[in-house]
Amino acid sequence: MLNRRLPLALVLLCCLGLGLGVYAAFLLGRSQPAAAAQKAAFRRLPLASPTALSIAKPTRPPTCTPVPMRTFAPRPTPTSALQPYYVESLRSRPYAPGTITVVAPLARNPAYTRYLIRYDSDGLRITGLMNLPPGEGPFPVIILNHGYFDPASYVPGDGTQLFADAFARQGYLTLTPDYRLYGESDQGPDPYRTGFAVDLVNLIASVGSLPHARADDIGLWGHSMGGGVALEALVISPPGLRSAVLLAPMSGNFAENYSAIVTSRGNNALGPDWTVAPNDDPEAYQQLSPINYLQYVSVPVQIHHGQSDQVVPAAWSAQLVQGLADAGKDATFYLYPGAGHSFYNRAWNLCMERTLEFFDSTLKAP
């Protein structure tokens, strides 16, 4: 009897092992599309023209539970070596109007002409792009701020061209700065990305040098890192700003950015100028972080975030919109179920429809 049962047991064990092997292969096969989808979140936006904005609005707007935030009263006399980069320091320094030079046309279509531009920012040459609609103008202005790309592989227009195209087709003059370190711009220090913010505010101060631009009707648009740069400009609050749209912005709490990128991912996407960790000077990080200075925001803000964003947590936008509301500011938040870090297809259309309505009401209204 024992000899008969032994072969049967061996057959059962072999079947069990074969089944586990097939299941493991199935799981492995399922992980590959997920990995590919995660990598796709880091790819640049496509350069094709957007489709018609015909998506109907949902009957109920997306909602999100806000994340509680701490309040902070900055010290009047900070002593940290990081003091030059504090929000209060950036607000008190001068931003002299300069000249935006139109270098050369790059492309032309019936809706607009794209030009290469350059301007000076704290002694550095900064390059960028301008889309100019036909006619004399003057046109309201939207400044687009790109997200993170490896500076060695960045091409002007990366991450912004699709949006700049749509804005220009609706009668907006668009400006897209490369920032220092990017494109053909000069190399320069960028501690805690305040260099990028300085380049943006200097550009805002120089819009009046363009004869086709309405220097008192400027909107900001920023994605990811560019959303964080735009938020920094909002708390600096230069003249001429009328509104801002942030798409999946980095956190206004610099300690969260450091923890998510440097500590968790172990890479240098924040740049080499983040020389002090939050634990080494937590008080300085409080005064570096624009989320603690939302009382200075003087324009309405619209925020868009994909609920499935694997790059920037949607909770960061919820925290920001709650902080703006607590400060008594005009803020609107849209959460997109199923959308990731970069918007495509239906999410892109709906986001753009809302964005254009918002800019039209804040920049084109008499």
Residues 6+ apart with CB under 8 A from 258: 270, 274, 277, 278, 285
Average pLDDT over residues 75-95: 82
Q: Cα–Cα distance between 185 and 126 in angstroms, integer?
A: 4
Specify if 50 maps to a domain: no
Average pLDDT over residues 121-132: 97
Q: Which is nearest to 112 in space by CA: 173, 45, 49, 161?
A: 173
Spell 219-239 as b/e; 16+ CB within 10 A means b: bbbbbbbbbbbbbbbbbbebe
Specify if 48 maps to a domain: no
Specify if 256 maps to a domain: yes
Residue 46 pLDDT more than 50?
Answer: no
Average pLDDT over residues 67-71: 40
For residues 144 and 12, membership in a common domain is answered with: no
pLDDT tens-digit series, residues 183-241: 999 999 988 899 999 999 999 999 999 999 999 999 999 999 999 999 999 999 999 99
Give the residue ranges of DSSP H helices in 158-216.
161-169, 194-206
For residues 129 and 264, membership in a common domain is answered with: yes
More confidently predicted of 24 and 324: 324
Q: Cα–Cα distance between 330 and 293 in angstroms, integer?
A: 15
Q: How far, in whole angstroms, is CA 235 from its chain's centroid? A: 16
CATH of the domain at 295: 3.40.50.1820
Specify if 245 maps to a domain: yes
For residues 67 and 12, membership in a common domain is answered with: no
pLDDT of 20 reads 35
Specify if 45 maps to a domain: no
